Structure formats: structure tokens, C-alpha cells
């Protein structure tokens, strides 16, 4: 099911370094440089976007997702691999991914992903999705910070590096700005949400349903 968005206010994260609290407190959009569709629902490509495929593909698909969202994990694991093979790798779709934060852990997870080399971005998100029970507050994890540190360790990040990344207030603001823009521009209020050819669609049950949607969008190009 969809979940109501909770966009996170700017929060100072010096708590970790100071050791003031037992729990971690988690607290922008880049310059827009090219329009991939026209009209009020235009998808504006930012220099900070993480993308896959060719920019010259006939269809652009923008996904808004949250690392803590179980439905996003379902899409990542059960639908996206075949979608990538059939549409992105074949030059039919240019794919743009943006995090739409639902809670502070999403801000922290995205900040960590942004600290890694760009080529490792999607790999790290996949790691997070496949291991949600180990760090995601959705699963009643008792120590989210420790879980994220563990995920960072798997990706080659030290605990100090993890804390440095999630404490970056400029990055926190950028992540929140992306979420705010998604609400304003497309009316996004849940994840995963997909924007394509001027339409917004919510979660898909399976690959066939998603494929039907993509094929209908391609047919209009």
C-alpha cells in the first residue's frame, strides 16, 4: 500500500559527534539543465540525477522511491531487472531515479549513497532494499544508525565516513528539496511513483502490469 509522505525538516546532526543522544537524528535540487519532455509535467534533468540508459531514448521514465519503502524494494528486486533488460539496455527508455524521503532514515540512506562513487549508486540502493530488515525502521529495527553503519561497511565505508555523510547538512537540504519539488511539480505523495509521458502512476503489482504501462507510453511517442 502507499504511505503518506513525511518530508524531513533541516536538522543538525552534530548529535553523533558529540554523543549527546543514544539515537541518531537525521535531518538540493541541482541546477536543471535539460527538459526531456514538454509541458507542465515536463521532466527536467538535473546534474545531480542518477540515470541509466540513453538520453536519446524515445521515452523517459522518472521513478521517485524511498530506501525504506517495501514496495520500492519489491520493484527493485522483482520488476526492475527485467525492465532494465527489455527497455533501458535496448535504448527504448531513459531512466531517472530520485529519492522521495518518507522519514529521516531515507535522508540518511540517500546521503550515504551520494558519498559513494556514482557508478556504485544503484548497487548500494539495491543492497539497502535487499537488506531492509537489518536497518529499516519500517521493520522495527532497534538501532537504525547501527544498521546503516553495517550497510556502509559492506559497501566499503567506515563508521566515521557514514557519520560524515549523513551529517552533511547541504546534502540533507538537497534531498529534501528533491522531495518538495516532486510534490509541487507532480503531486507525488507516495512511493514508488513513476512519471512518464506526462502521466504519474503509482506502484505496480508485477512486471506485466508495469510493461503494459511502459508500452502504452511508448505507443504515444
Q: Does residue 201 register a pLDDT over 70?
A: yes
Per the listing, cell 525502521 goes with 137
Distance CA 220, CA 49 (A): 25
Structure confidence by residue, pLDDT tens digits, 141-190: 999 999 999 999 999 999 999 999 999 999 999 999 999 999 999 999 99
pLDDT of residue 149: 98
Structure confidence by residue, pLDDT tens digits, 6-53: 433 333 333 333 232 333 333 333 333 344 445 668 899 999 999 999
Structure confidence by residue, pLDDT tens digits, 44-81: 999 999 999 999 999 999 999 999 999 999 999 999 99
Distance CA 176, CA 150 (A): 24
Distance CA 147, CA 135 (A): 4
Nearest CA to 33 out of 42, 50, 52, 46 is that of 46
pLDDT of residue 147: 98
Radius of gyration of the chain (CA): 17
pLDDT of residue 221: 78
pTM of the model: 0.83
Per the listing, cell 559513494 goes with 116
Q: What does each C-alpha distance from 46 to 43, 62, 98 come to in angstroms?
A: 9, 12, 10
pLDDT of residue 33: 37
Amino acid at each position: 500500500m502507499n504511505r503518506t509522505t513525511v518530508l524531513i525538516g533541516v536538522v543538525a546532526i552534530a548529535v553523533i559527534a558529540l554523543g549527546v543522544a543514544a539515537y541518531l537524528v537525521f535531518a538540493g535540487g541541482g541546477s536543471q539543465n535539460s527538459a526531456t519532455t514538454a509541458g507542465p509535467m515536463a521532466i527536467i534533468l538535473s546534474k545531480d540525477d542518477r540515470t541509466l540508459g540513453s538520453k536519446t531514448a524515445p521515452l523517459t521514465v522518472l521513478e521517485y522511491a524511498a530506501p525504506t519503502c517495501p514496495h520500492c524494494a519489491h520493484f527493485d528486486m522483482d520488476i526492475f531487472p527485467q525492465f532494465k533488460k527489455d527497455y533501458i539496455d535496448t535504448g527504448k527508455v531513459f531512466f531517472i531515479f530520485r529519492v522521495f524521503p518518507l522519514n529521516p532514515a531515507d535522508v540518511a540512506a540517500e546521503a550515504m549513497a551520494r558519498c559513494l562513487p556514482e557508478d556504485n549508486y544503484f548497487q548500494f540502493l539495491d543492497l539497502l532494499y535487499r537488506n531492509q530488515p537489518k536497518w529499516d525502521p519500517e521493520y522495527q529495527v532497534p538501532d537504525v544508525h547501527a544498521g546503516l553503519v553495517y550497510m556502509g561497511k559492506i559497501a566499503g565505508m567506515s563508521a566515521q565516513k557514514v557519520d560524515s555523510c549523513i551529517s552533511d547538512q547541504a546534502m540533507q537540504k538537497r534531498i529534501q528539496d528533491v522531495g518538495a519539488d516532486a510534490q509541487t511539480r507532480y503531486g507525488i505523495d507516495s512511493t514508488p511513483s513513476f512519471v512518464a509521458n506526462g502521466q504519474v502512476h503509482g506502484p505496480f503489482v508485477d512486471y506485466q502490469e508495469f510493461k503494459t504501462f511502459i508500452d502504452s507510453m511508448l505507443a504515444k511517442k
